[in-house]
Amino acid sequence: MKNYLDLLELILESGETREDRTGVGTISSFGHQLKFDLRDGFPAVTTKKLAWKGVVSELLWFIEGSDDERRLAEIRYGDIRENLTDIKKFPTIWTGNADSQGKELGYKNTEMVKKLGPIYGVQWRNWDGCDQVKQLLQSLKHNPNSRRHILSAWNVSHIEKMALPPCHLLAQFYVSQNNELDCHMYQRSADMFLGVPFNIASYSLLMHIFSSILSLKPRYFIHSFGDAHIYLNSVEQVKEQVLRKPKERPILKMPKIDSIEDLIDCNIDDFILEGYDPHPPIRAEMAV
């Protein structure tokens, strides 16, 4: 993960200070790329602790196709929503968006239901009636040499209806002649400190899930950025992080998954980072 730290340093040293939607302000740099070889271990950041359960629960929520933040809470905490009504005790990474942008858009927002509009999971599983995930898996299986293995969340006609327009908006997949799976994801807007380690882990996990279904081996995750930024309220935290030495990557242990429907029977504790020994957490407030 040294390449990730190097990019953080580059942004700190040569990025430009810009105003942004949240009002916090950023140090920003445009147009970068990172590449991770999943054969060398799972690319979980080790210079601070990764919120792994948050990564797993959000990805399972996306794949399920939900638009309800409280459903994410059920997956994250392993309980029914009737027992999760104390929002301060049982928040998710989408609570702020639901209570801010989602509420402003007029979506239902109670302690039991917090709608977000047609965000990632909805687009993945029901883009105007199209189940992109199932179509993608069929294409990867039956036409592996195709150049159309695309998963997109940027549905232009729905952008204004989303509590948060997609930041990681498009991924292309590639099957090698050695039966290995690659993924190249483009992210238009990247919170390099809080969000990007989460995004790297999420798409790497998605690659492992797809590889299990397709009897492939995950190989390269390529991560391309448009606006790569560090929020001004996390600059000191980033300076602390880049001084830390990366540790050995963990190994992902997960059940054999034969179809996307198998994920219904999975919970977050089925996905384990074996040997994960990160540096202590470095906390910062998420800009909403």
Residues with catalytic annotation? 167
Tell me if 163 sits within 8 A of 117, measured CB to CB: yes
Do the beta carbons of residue 65 and residue 59 sit within 8 Å?
Answer: no
User: What φ, ψ does residue 134 adopt, rounded to 5°?
Assistant: -65, -40
Q: Provide the β-strand partners of residue 16.
A: 28
Backbone φ and ψ of 151, nearest 5° = -125, 120
Q: Which of 124, 125, 107 is nearest to 116 (CA)?
A: 107
Instruction: Tell which phi-psi region holds residue 212, choosing left (phi > 0), alpha (psi between -120 and 50) or beta.
Output: alpha
For residues 204 and 253, give the distance between their C-alpha atoms in angstroms, rounded to a whole number.
13
